[in-house]
Structure 1
C-alpha cells in the first residue's frame, strides 16, 4: 500500500475536525519555520482527553479557550479528564500546566520526559544553553553563531512558561481506556528521552507525536548531557517497531497531514538517513568537524533556531558513523573534535549497530 492522505487540509486554528470515531484534530500555530502543530481531543466518557497542548502563545491560549467553551456545549460535556503529553518539547508541553490549572485535569507523561522538562527549564544536570554552547564549540561552531545562540538563552522557558509540578507516570505498554476504546503506550527514543505515542487497536489509529512524520524527517540530536549517544540508532530501532502495526493503521502525526502507509514511511526514513550517512562519510576523507559539515547536510541558509537543531543532527549522524566503525573521532589539544573516514584503514575497530 502506497502512503496516502485521507484528509486534504487541516482544520483552522481554534476549530476541530473528527478524523476517526471520537478522535478530533486541532491545529495550532508555532512561531518557527515549522509553523504548526497538530493536537488531538479524544472523547472520554462524559468528557475529553487532550493529547499535547501547543506552544505558549497568547493566540494558542485564545484558541484553547474557544475550544473549551465549545466543548462545554457538546453531549460529552466540557470536563477534561486528562492531559497526555507525548514529550517535553515546548510545542507539546508548552501549555500543559496552564491547561491543568484551567481544567483541573491531571497531566500524564513518561518519567524521562517529565524530569527532562524540569532539568531543561532550570538548566541543571548538564542541560541548558551553556552546556549546549560548550558542545557546539567543541564541534567547531564559530563564535558568531555561538553568540547568536547565546542570545536565545531562555527560549525553552518562553515556550513553556510554567511546568506541571504533579503528573501521572506513563510506562511503555500501559493500556489506557479512553471512552470506549483501548490505547496502548508505545515509548520511542532518539528524538527525546522517552517519547510516548498512543496506539488504539480498536480504532486502528496511531497518535505518533514526532516519532513518525509524513513528509519531514524527525530531528534527531545528540545533547551535551549525553555526548556519545547513538541517538540515530535509537530512533531507527524505535520506528522499526511500528512495522508490526497493521498496514491500514491511520497515523496522526504532530506535523503534516494524517496518513496511511507506516511501512513505506519507515522505509523512506531509513533510506534518507542511509543516504545522509554516506554523504557524511564521503566528506570525511580528511578530518572534518560537525560545524564544517553543516553545509553538507543542510545546503541552505539556516537561521539561529535551525542552526541549533542542525548541529545536534550533524553530531547524531557523526556519532552513528563512529559507533558503526565508519568514522574515527579525533580531538586536538584545544578540544576541537573532528571525524575522519575509516575506509581503507586496516583493522578499524567497529562498535556495531543496534
Structure 2
C-alpha cells in the first residue's frame, strides 16, 4: 500500500501549489493536545509534506519528541517556538521515535543547542549512525542490485544514483552517546508516566509512547489515520520480513484501550484506534490476495508493482512501490503461498505455489 497524500495535498499538486509553502502554513504555533502536551507541525519536502513533533512539559524544562528534517526552514520554526513558547525553560531531553530523516533530522542540533541528552531505541540510533557514515558507492551498488533483481529498468537504476545523498543532507550528526529506550520501559516526563511500546515494520525498532492515565498514544508512524505507513524491503536486508513484523506489532496494539486518543506523526489526532488497526490489517490482507492473483504466471517484482497501482509511477513512486511489493512478496514466500525463482543476476520471478 503505497502511502497516499490526503485529498487537499492531491489537489494542491494538480494546481502546482508550492508544497513547502503549503506545509509551512500554520506550522509555527504549538497546539495544545492535552495538559502539558503540545504538537509542533513542521514542513518536510515530500508527501505528506509535514511531520508532527511533540513538546512536553517536563518539570523545570521541556522534552521534545521528534525533530523534523535538518534544514534551515525547520531550524527557523524551532527557534520561533523556543522564543515564544518555552517560557524561559530549557529543553532538557530529546526523544526520537525512529531513524527516518523527518524524525531524527535535527536531533543532533537540538541536543547540542541545549546540552540535552538524546533518547532512542538502540537499533534506531545505530541505524541512523550507519546511514550517516555509510559508503555511498557501496550503498548505491546495493540499491541498484536490489532493484535490478526486482526487474527495474536501466533508467530507474540510473535515477537511484541521483538520490543517494538525501539522508546525509537532511540529518545533522548525532551525539556520540544516547540513552536507550526499550520495549516495556517507563519514561517519566513531568508528572506523567509513559510506557515505551516498540513497533517494528516501518522502522526496525520504532518506539511509541502510551500514557495509560489519559489514554494517549504518541504513535509515530505506526498507526496513521488516512494513509498507510510505508512498509518496505531495504537493500541492506533483501530477505527481510518488515511486513510480518508490522502486522504482528499492529496486532499487539489492539491490547490498548479502544478509547485511546492517537497522536500520529502525520495528520491530526484521532480516536478509533481499534477500527484503524482493523482497516490496516484488512488492507494488507487484500494486497496479499491481489499479488496472488497477479502471480498467476511468473512475474518480476517491478511488473507486479506496476499492476498493483493504476496510475503510471514516476521513479520516486516506483522505488517505494517496489519496496512495498517486495515486503509483501517476502511474507508470501514465508507463508509458502509464492515461490521465487532466479539464476545468477537475472531478475527474480515470482509465481503462486
> TM-score when scaled to structure 1?
0.90
The C-alpha deviation readout for 1:6-27, integer Å capped at 9, x for no partner, is xxxx982111111111110111
Contact 1:127–1:224 (CA under 8 A) maintained in structure 2: no
Q: Distance in 2 between matches of 1:102 and 1:333?
A: 51
Contact 1:126–1:224 (CA under 8 A) maintained in structure 2: no
Q: Distance in 1 between matches of 2:135 and 2:309?
A: 31
Aligned pair partner of 2:175 in 164, 177, 196? 164
Q: How many residues align?
A: 330
Q: Distance in 2 between matches of 1:70 and 1:205?
A: 26
Report runs of 4+ in structure 1 exceeding 4 Å deviation: 124-127
Paired residue for 1:40?
Answer: 54
Are positions 1:71 and 2:85 aligned together? yes
Paired residue for 2:133?
Answer: 122
Aligned pair partner of 2:305 in 282, 294, 317? 294
Q: Distance in 2 between matches of 1:338 and 1:218?
A: 26
Instruction: Report the alpha carbon displacement of residue 333 of structure 1 after superposing the two structures with TM.
Output: 4.0
Q: Distance in 2 between matches of 1:121 and 1:130?
A: 17
Q: Quickly say closer, same or farther: Cα 1:127–1:177, change in 2 above 3 A.
A: farther
Contact 1:120–1:128 (CA under 8 A) maintained in structure 2: no
Paired residue for 2:156?
Answer: 145
Q: Distance in 1 between matches of 2:185 and 2:289?
A: 38
**What SS is found at the alignment partner of 1:28?**
strand
Instruction: Report the alpha carbon displacement of residue 170 of structure 1 after superposing the two structures with TM.
Output: 0.7
Q: Quickly say closer, same or farther: Cα 1:209–1:165, change in 2 above 3 A.
A: same
Aligned pair partner of 1:62 in 76, 79, 83? 76
Q: Distance in 2 between matches of 1:142 and 1:61?
A: 38
Paired residue for 1:349?
Answer: none
Alignment of 1:1-354 (within 5 A): 12-72=26-86, 74=87, 77-123=88-134, 128-342=139-353
**What SS is found at the alignment partner of 2:201?**
coil
The C-alpha deviation readout for 1:218-244, integer Å capped at 9, x for no partner, is 100111222211211110100111111
Instruction: Report the alpha carbon displacement of residue 124 of structure 1 after superposing the two structures with TM.
Output: 5.3
Contact 1:49–1:81 (CA under 8 A) maintained in structure 2: yes
Contact 1:88–1:117 (CA under 8 A) maintained in structure 2: yes
Moved more, 23-32 or 218-227: 218-227
**What SS is found at the alignment partner of 1:184?**
strand
Q: Distance in 2 between matches of 1:150 and 1:100?
A: 32
Contact 2:55–2:64 (CA under 8 A) maintained in structure 1: yes
Instruction: Report the alpha carbon displacement of residue 335 of structure 1 after superposing the two structures with TM.
Output: 3.2
Give unpaired runs (5+ residues) of structure 2.
1-22
Instruction: Report the alpha carbon displacement of residue 298 of structure 1 after superposing the two structures with TM.
Output: 2.5
